[in-house]
Amino acid sequence: MLLSDRIIFIDAEAIVIDKPAGLPVDTPRRGGASIVSRLDELRAGFKRPPTPMHRLDTDTSGCLLLARSPKSRAAFQRAFEAREVGKYYLAVVAGEVSGEEGAIDIPLAKTSSAEAGWRMVANPKGQKAITHWRRIAIRDGRTLVEFRPVTGRTHQIRAHAREAFGSGIMGDRVYGIPGGPMLLHASRLVVPRSGKETIDVTAPLPDYFGQWRDEA
């Protein structure tokens, strides 16, 4: 499927696509397909291809913002740096989450080993990382949770889910429960714009979320 078929918002300044799981934003070191390698599919009549404004993990699906001009790129960059952009994620967490909502304030740092590779772990000396969460539904011993990260650390939601709830996200081979697709989806993106209507878009849960789609 062409990336142009996955556009959920477009105007002269921006494009938002529903990124498919399994396709990285940046081209991997070993090569292969990526959003960046397929930007020509998103020109939509413009001479220059758009520029991704943030990153989603390879196995994370959902809303990805791209700027269509240097001017809009600079404006979006300022909005991200000022933490004005609202990013909402839906994930299925192993176990039943007891509270209704809360905030995870746990600094994260990168660690690596020859055996396990690298990952983000809780570390008081790490970078500040804050994620708000809200319980949506419980089913069969698992919980659908909405996450809203305030900061934008690498693997923040995945690492925070494990630290806060003890077992992590279903399908997450590094921080959660391996097996099947990772059930983490960038469901909504809210981008304020000066003098223009706010971008506020949602991407529906992929089919592989199964019955959880009825709860979202």
Tokens 């995870």 — which residue? 104
Q: What are the two backbone dihedrals, phi and then psi, of residue 186, each rounded to the nearest 5 degrees?
A: -80, 95
| Residue 71 burial (10 A CB sphere; 0-12, 13-18, 19+) | exposed
Asked if residue 80 lies in contact with residue 53, where contact means CB atoms within 8 angstroms, the answer is: yes
Is residue 59 part of the annotated active site? The answer reads no
Catalytic residue selected from 5, 18, 40, 57:
57
CA pair distance 58, 131, nearest whole angstrom = 20
Please give the DSSP secondary-structure letter assigned to residue 208.
G
| Residue 207 burial (10 A CB sphere; 0-12, 13-18, 19+) | exposed
What are the catalytic residues? 57
